[in-house]
Structures are given as structure tokens and as C-alpha cells.
Chain A
Amino acid sequence: MDTFDFLMHGFSVATTPQNLLIAFIGAFLGTIVGMLPGLGPINGVAILLPFAYALGLPPESALILLAAVYLGCEYGGRISAILINVPGDAGAIMTTLDGYPLARQGKAGIALSLSAVSSFVGATIATIGVVLFAPILAKWAVSFGPAEYFVLMVFAITCLGGLVGDQPVKTGISALIGLGLATVGVDAVTGIYRFTFDSVNLSDGIQFTTIVIGFFSVSEILILLERTTTGHKVVEQGKRSLLNFKEFTFSLGAMLRSGLMGFVVGILPGAGATIASAMTYASERKIAGDTGTFGEGDLRGVASPEAANNASACGSFVPMLTLGVPGSGTTAVMMGALTLYNITPGPQLFTQQPDIVWGLIASLFICNVILLVLNIPLVGLFAKLLNVPSYVLIPSIAAVSFVGVYSINSTTFDLVFMVALGVFGYFLRKLNFPLSALILGYVLGELMESNLRRALSISQGELSILWSSPITIALWLLAILMVFMPIIRSIYRKRYKKTAV
């Protein structure tokens, strides 16, 4: 069977009535979660993950649900960015720059529909990219041994250090905290209990949902508590709520370029929607030059970040599906979801679980169509939800988070532990330690240790196996490059400033 047959098989999985309904529900919920300021895709996926599991959904349906939520969030983030000048999620920060000015000019409806279309274009480009590249990468990755995997994970973590956050040390610390948390529990090889403090509740390791919901949901509630007083005013949508053909062709180039770039950035482990949208916004502004009105309401300024953040969301599925190394914080959570089902993502997934892989890829296409259809007519309804007061919204989020954690093991310990992690996460966030790195570290932790130990078992303790194949050497070099990336970037920036002067 070639790729096309597999894709058709994927569509047959994704178009069963149950999965279509799940995709629809996920897209709807995702849009709401993405729209609400403060709640991003990680929160949405994290809160829904335990329910997908508790409901006994088959793994492919659970993954479709989570993917739909993820894409929905990227669509939803723009609504609040345009209407109240507050990005609904991190990927939509750049959308506020031109989206809100457009809304002030009475063109909110145009900005919303244009951004929906560009989200669709970006995501579609990236999904086609997934179809084309993922099988090739998977085929190549099958030859990876444990040593290659170990180095690949080191590379993924250094990638984070080079690309996420403004201080690599802090990103590194976050990732190491995640790796450290992953060592808690019984050691799979020898049966020794590590860092369990003789607690039965920790002997199986820290539950993944407890970690994610604690770090993201609980800490988010505390962060939101600081800004209760600021009220937002929703801007009216204006007379015309649909873009016309001229506006579409005007921004098409920006959409296509940004979609491609977003996809490439999305593939890199760690670099997610935020970086993709910032990069494309900057490059589109440069391309437009003097003819653009960027910052004052340029249509391309809305189209490019939206195309890019959706493209990068889809692109981040590539490393997760093919290498078992997530491309973003949200796909890290989704990978955790797969491990709940005892499925280890990696190149074997393509041959062993074609239902899951191709069902997921096909559902990316379907979710995009659903989201486009859902988003253009229903945008008014979604905007109304922005008026739900926080004293109703926040307690509901808290309650749903607790139910999610409780549903896995039904213990009080998990709930209290989750709050403790939330407080810890709150301090990490306040001090600019990026939590997405922590989650990536936690997800990779167990795999990293087991691959390292397997590699060293093969070589009977000889460390040189870690740098003896061409792939490992190349990955080490890339990892070293990434470590120096912040320095290279700052030198480049200084030079750029000089020439600009």
C-alpha cells in the first residue's frame, strides 16, 4: 500500500459517525478553550485527556478528540485577540497587533473571517506536509537504535533551550525538572523504588494527568487570580462579516508563505506556534516594506500569524508520530495520552497502528473543514462567551480539573499532590521558567533513560556507542549548535542593528 491508500484508510477511520461527532465536539470545545484568555491548547488537551480515557474511547478516537481540541484552540485564540485585544493563547499574540486595530476600524468581521480562512489555509498546507513527509521520516527512523534515540532526545531538549524562552539556563532547568520528575517510581529494569518516600501512591510514578493538570490548570487559576480586576470590552463586529475576493487574493501570498514556514518551524521539537507566528509576522512586514500598514490594521498582519500558528500546530505532529519526540508542549501531552493506552509513539506506529496514525492525519483535514465551517457563522456566538464572568468560569475550570485527576486513580492523594504541583508551577511561571519544556522533559524522561540503558547494555557499558554512528554524530553536532543558538542569535541581532543604523 502506498501513502494514498493509507490516507484513504485513514479517512475511513476518521469518517465513522462516532469519530466525526468526536471531531466536531473537540473542535467546538477547542475553539472555546482557545478563545478564553489564559487557557491555551495545553490546558484544553490536558483537561480533556482523562475524560477521553475514562470514557473508554478507543485510542484513535481519543487522539482525534485531542487533535481537534488542539486545532480548535489555534482557531479560537484569534477571536479574543481581534475582539478584545487579548490573545486567547500564546500563538495569537501577533494577531492582536493588526487584528485589534482592524476591529477598531469596524472591520472586525472581515478580520475574523480572513483569519479563519488563513488558519484553514495554513493548517491545510501543513497537513499535506504531514502526509508527504511523515511516512518518509518514519521509514528512515526505523533504523534508529537506542543510542540514536537517546541522542535524538538530547537534541530535542537542547532545541528547546535554543528556541524557547529568553534564557536558555531556565529552559534547561525546566526540562531537567521534567526529566527528574519522570524518575519517580519503580525502576522498570531492576524493580527498585526511586524517590517514592515509601508512598504507595508514588510507586507507579507520578500520574501524567496529575502533572499536566497541576502544572497548567491549577497554576493558570492562580495566574488569572492576579488579573481579576481588568475588564474587557468586546468590539462590535461591523457591517460586513465576510471577506471579499479581493481581500482574499491580497493576503493569499502571505498565507501561503506563512503556512509553509509555520510547518517547518512546527516540525522542530519545542519550537511551537508562538515562534512561528512571530517569525512570519516579522518576515511579512519586511516583504511588504513601505506598502504595508502593519501595526495599524494590515490584513496580511492578521493572515500571516494565523496561517503560521495553525500550520505549526499541524507540523508538530510530524516528530510526535514518526520519532516519538513531540514537537510542541501540546503534542507532548498527546504523547502522554498514547502512553496511557500503552502505545509508544515512534516509527513502528506507522506499520503497527495504521488506524491511529492515518486516522489522526485524516482527521486533521476533517477538523479543519469543520472548524472553518464552524468559525465563520458561529463567531458571534463564540464572542458572546467572552462575557461569561470569571466567578462562574474559573470555579468550573477548577472543578473539571479535579474531576479529571480524580477519574484516573480515585485517590485524595492525587488531588492534593496536584495542588502542590500547581503552586510549584505557579512560581516557575512567575519566574519565567517555561513549563512547556518541563512537560517535554517529563514525557521524554522515561524513554530517555530506558534508551540510554538499553544502548549501554548493547555495548556492555562502553559509552562510545553514544557517538559511534553517523546519525548520532550529526545529532550531537546539531545539539551543540542549538546550545550556542542564543549566542548566535544575539550576535546576529547586534550586527543587524548596526547595519540598520
Chain B
Amino acid sequence: MTMERLFSGLMALVCFGLIYLAYGYTAPIAYDPIGPRPYPILIFSLLALGTLVVTFRPAQFTKIIDLGFNKAIIRNLILCVIALLVYGMFFESLGFPVATTLMSFAVGLLFDGKPVKTFIFSVIISIALFILFDLFLDVKLPLGLLSGIVG
């Protein structure tokens, strides 16, 4: 069972779920001859078909994909995704400067940064980007924790 087959199989299952959902989409009044239901069903049926082909096709039609995973890479990937997820979730409550410093520090360490240097650059990045976006480009960013202290 290769990763490719597993992944496609999962996508096919999701498609079946979505097709089932789409069956419920009927309009109370028919505004146009086909309504909201057939198009999504068509798309997801084709998608289910395609993913099933990839899941079950004979091995001679597949190309071996070298994922290049090892334990260290997988660990780093998971940590990076967690760092980004946490960043997204606390973007508003912690505020941009604090959240960005933390995220930059975490991601910077994953990208082989030395702790002290990475920390200094994290602070610089978050302040520089905050000034650039909030003050110069007029993109309003949340201040979060700092909202009482700064501006």
C-alpha cells in the first residue's frame, strides 16, 4: 500500500460523503432546469472515479515516488504545522507582534537557526512587519496583549 494509493483512497471516501451530502440539495422552487444538485454530484463523481483509478490501478502504471521522509523530517514537519496552527489560532488574541515573534522563533529554530540569533531576528521581523503593514500600508492588524500598552 503506497502513500499515493492511501491518499487517493481517502479522497475517494471523502468524495462519496460529499456526493451523499449533495443529494440533499434541492431547491424549494425550480428556478432553472437543473437546480443546485447535479453539478456538484457530477464533479465529485468524476473526482471519486479519478481517485479510485489512482487507488486501484495496476502497479505498472504508477511511478515510484520517493517521499524522502525520515524521522527527523517528519518530526520537523509536524512541529512546523503545529507552530503555524497555533499562530493562526492565537493571531488575534495574542496580537500580531507577540504571536509573530513566537511563530518566527519556533519556525526559525526548525530552519536551523541558532537560538539567540533567531530570537533577535524574530523580534525584528514582527516589529518591522507590524510597522510596515499597520502604519504604512494601512492593513489593520490586531494588537492583542499589547493593545493597552501601545497606541
Contact = CB atoms under 8 A, between A and B. Distances in A.
9 contacts: A51-B139, A169-B50, A189-B32, A389-B111, A391-B118, A394-B107, A407-B133, A412-B88, A453-B39
Interface residues of B, number: 70
A225 B43 contact: no
Interface of B: 3-4, 7-8, 11, 18, 21-22, 25-27, 29, 31-36, 39-40, 43-44, 46-47, 50-51, 53-54, 57, 63, 65, 67-68, 73, 76-77, 80-81, 84-85, 87-89, 91-92, 96, 100, 103-105, 107-113, 117-118, 121-122, 125-126, 129, 133, 137-141
Contact of B32 (A176, A221, A391, A457): A457
B56 to A, nearest CB: 12
A390 B65 contact: no
Contacts of A190: 27, 29, 31-32, 35-36
Contact of A395 (B46, B103, B141): B103
B18 A195 contact: yes
Contact of A398 (B43, B47, B103): B103
B40 A226 contact: no
A288 interface: no
Given A229-B112, A431-B65, A398 B88 contact: no
A177 to B, nearest CB: 7
Question: Residue among B84, B96, B105 with the most chain A CB within 10 A?
Answer: B84
A317 to B, nearest CB: 27
Interface of A: 51, 54-56, 166-167, 169-170, 172-173, 176-177, 179-180, 183, 187, 189-192, 194-195, 218, 221-222, 224-226, 228-229, 389-392, 394-396, 398-400, 402-403, 406-407, 410, 412, 415-416, 418-419, 422-423, 426-427, 430-432, 449, 452-454, 456-457, 460-461
Contacts of A456: 32-34
Given A180-B18, A395-B122, 14 more contacts: A54-B139, A173-B54, A176-B46, A225-B76, A225-B80, A389-B113, A391-B113, A392-B125, A402-B91, A403-B139, A412-B91, A415-B87, A432-B63, A452-B39
Q: Please report whether the interface of chain B is mostly helix, strand, loop or mixed according to DSSP.
A: helix
B39 A449 contact: yes
A395 B68 CA distance: 23
A435 to B, nearest CB: 15
A390 B32 contact: no
B67 to A, nearest CB: 6
B43 A194 contact: no
Given A192-B36, A195-B18, A456-B32, A416 B85 contact: yes
Nearest to A182: B43
B87 A402 contact: yes
Contacts of B36: 187, 189-190, 192, 194
